[in-house]
Structure 1
């Protein structure tokens, strides 16, 4: 994976999103020509964590987040075995999942701190605004547009804007929701620090019941944890070891080797990983 592909995609996304802000139009031809090929290039490499590192935000959260969600969703879709036509809808829809935010006042988007309720209610309208922008764009599928509308919906019906149950949420939107949350909570923001990858993998997996589609979360978690096999870890009791095997039933509690001892974290609930290296 060429890290420069991500940076170039982010820079071009920032330029093109200004058209959305100023004109209320999606420059879909330019996006397909200039941005989507870079995302495809970046996700063709099998090295997951260099990609995730490249996707970490700098001073460009809104635009890098859009590229990151598209890249992560594309990977999940590939791991889920999506056909090429659905994968293409997913990549572009995930890139534009926050397009509606470009029509939200910048004072709210750039606020240094949590939003108050009135501001948050206004921000939530980005889902409907984004859907309306994408739905009227020639050359974009209805399913890509639904991603903008539904990426904050949840399986248990507690999401927004329509409080849809899981049975009424498009599968592409479900994939984007997982990618969106994962990148958001592993990114540095003005008002909080990023959480470690391994910690957030566990948090998403263990907190997914009722909120996110379980097969999607399980596939995503298993793939990320498999990428950690061989990595050194520090456990809660300060011992150092390395991950040697991922538990297929619960990928967040792998088998860890410490010296000549093998520790099955699924059988020792009082022992957890506190750091993963490499």
Structure 2
């Protein structure tokens, strides 16, 4: 199975390529640092490897959950909160300050290597309205990187994503924080945040025109079922489509005063379903696949309450990965009852 040395001697080294099982499911993604669990998987699946499959510089193994972006997100959230208040009082925004402080912090928050470490600080624990703006900024930045946007395009996307909900500064707290369903009148008021945000941002000197456009369009949908203007696919700016995906994902995975976060497996399923009609399919598919690749190695809670580790992504059923639980490997795509409830740190 190995040439020249035992497999366990490669613990701590980085694998160069994706390792697949006989069904074509990715068991261990490229760039993974090999540990004891990976060795067991490789042996169980009888995967042949050679020295050429590893990067020769050994890495220090450390628990992936030991580092999260919580402090970065809290700092950025406080700056966004101050910025929103500044706009409310002064009618303008310090664009250069945003570019020098908030945008780099969001880019840094998107650099963490695992899904749990990225999402940790984004799960709304307080001040959902402000944390949501940072969450959508970080997730949109990840998507932009995966789409290989240029440095200038990525900075612009991050700016637009972070300011996408700025129109909510003129929506009452009663409506923003209302538990339960809106009345038709309340929902009509809530939807105005898109037009309000557009009008506010159009007045800011030095702001690229795509930033207010994203504030206006991030609730538009490919099938024309969105708001405020029921635009269809070809009429919606590409950045607005990215932010629309990030907006839905962060909202569904966040706990609020009146609403628990949706179960993780249902979020993934909903996002995949929305990729057929509501959301741009290429963005949605890329986002979910790369997201689940990031989740490999993370710990999670199952729907039966047990704790597990995600050890491989199934490209044919991304919502149901291969896991390790109670010392055994379980393919969730073969289970109708067992699913991922939540990621844990």
TM-score in terms of structure 1 length: 0.88
Structure 1, residues 90-115: CA drift from partner, whole Å, max 9, x if none? 10000000111112233322334432
The whole-number CA distance in structure 1 between the counterparts of 2:302 and 2:174 is: 42
Q: Does 1:157 align with 2:224?
A: yes
- 1:133-212 aligned within 5 A: 133-212=200-279
Q: Between Structure 1 and Structure 2, whose CA radius of gyration is higher?
A: 2
Contact 2:114-2:295 at 8 Å conserved across structures: no
TM-aligned CA deviation for residue 224 of structure 1: 1.8
The whole-number CA distance in structure 1 between the counterparts of 2:283 and 2:238 is: 9
Q: Does 1:75 align with 2:148?
A: no
Structure 1, residues 200-228: CA drift from partner, whole Å, max 9, x if none? 12221233310111111111111221122
CA 1:122–1:39: 2 relative to 1, 3 Å: same
CA 1:238–1:11: 2 relative to 1, 3 Å: closer
Contact 1:20-1:103 at 8 Å conserved across structures: no
The whole-number CA distance in structure 1 between the counterparts of 2:220 and 2:96 is: 28
Q: In the alignment, what sits opposite 1:270?
A: 336
SS in 2 for 1:75: helix
Contact 1:9-1:35 at 8 Å conserved across structures: yes
The whole-number CA distance in structure 2 between the counterparts of 1:218 and 1:271 is: 25
Structure 1, residues 226-253: CA drift from partner, whole Å, max 9, x if none? 1222446676789986544322244223
TM-aligned CA deviation for residue 14 of structure 1: 0.6
- 1:239-258 aligned within 5 A: 242-256=309-323
Contact 1:233-1:273 at 8 Å conserved across structures: no
Segment drifting more, 8-17 vs 187-196: 187-196
Q: In the alignment, what sits opposite 2:90?
A: 23
The whole-number CA distance in structure 2 between the counterparts of 1:179 and 1:167 is: 19
Gaps of 5+ in 1: none
Contact 1:235-1:271 at 8 Å conserved across structures: no
Which residue, out of 103, 116, 121, partners 2:170? 103
Q: In the alignment, what sits opposite 2:118?
A: 51
TM-aligned CA deviation for residue 127 of structure 1: 0.5
Contact 1:12-1:35 at 8 Å conserved across structures: yes
TM-aligned CA deviation for residue 33 of structure 1: 2.8
CA 1:136–1:233: 2 relative to 1, 3 Å: closer
Structure 1, residues 7-30: CA drift from partner, whole Å, max 9, x if none? 110011111101222333233233
Give the count of matched residue pairs: 277
Supply the RMSD in Å over aligned alpha carbons.
2.5
Contact 2:179-2:258 at 8 Å conserved across structures: yes
Q: Does 1:12 align with 2:79?
A: yes
TM-aligned CA deviation for residue 271 of structure 1: 4.6
CA 1:108–1:44: 2 relative to 1, 3 Å: same
Q: In the alignment, what sits opposite 2:100?
A: 33
CA 1:239–1:10: 2 relative to 1, 3 Å: closer
The whole-number CA distance in structure 2 between the counterparts of 1:124 and 1:53 is: 29
Gaps of 5+ in 2: 1-67
Q: In the alignment, what sits opposite 2:35?
A: none
Segment drifting more, 133-142 vs 195-204: 195-204
The whole-number CA distance in structure 2 between the counterparts of 1:45 and 1:106 is: 33
TM-score in terms of structure 2 length: 0.72
Which residue, out of 295, 307, 319, partners 1:228? 295
